[in-house]
Amino acid sequence: MSIKEIFERYRRVGIYGMSANEEKPAYQVPKFLMSKGYEIFPINPHSDEIMGRKVAHNLSDVEGDIEILDVFRPSAEAVKVVKEAIERNRSKGDIKVIWLQEGIISDEAKKLAEEYGFEFIQNKCMHVEYLKAQL
């Protein structure tokens, strides 16, 4: 599936590692996605509310269905995040795409995600890729 098709098909985005700091990409990218009509689900163990949205402290606590899991965590944590996504999908079956933001790369996470059947993107910014897709 192409990146453009992902943006067109899926509208509900879990933001793993969303920041309350307006200067950080982990705040700016979700804000941009919301401005384009995407529903976001912030995930951060250190916040209760960001941008007026209730924050889940971990992936399993997210209420509602997530279609894209957008990850703002270090590359070293990518496998752990994929394993959490697999666990969530065993109970909810909602996540279709795991997207590691620009600078986040893990071939081990990619292999695991693809073996489980997720679409997997790494080292790409959702904001930049949305603009490239000319939606």
Check whether 68 has a pLDDT greater than 90.
Answer: yes
DSSP 92: T
Tell me the pLDDT tens digit for each residue of 16-64: 999 999 999 999 999 999 999 999 999 999 999 999 999 999 999 999 9
* pTM assigned to the model: 0.96
Distance CA(105)–CA(52), nearest Å, equals: 30
Measured CA distances, 34 to 44, 65, 71 (Å): 18, 16, 16
Number of domains in the chain: 1
What residue numbers bound the domain in which 11 lies?
3-133
**CATH code at 114?**
3.40.50.720
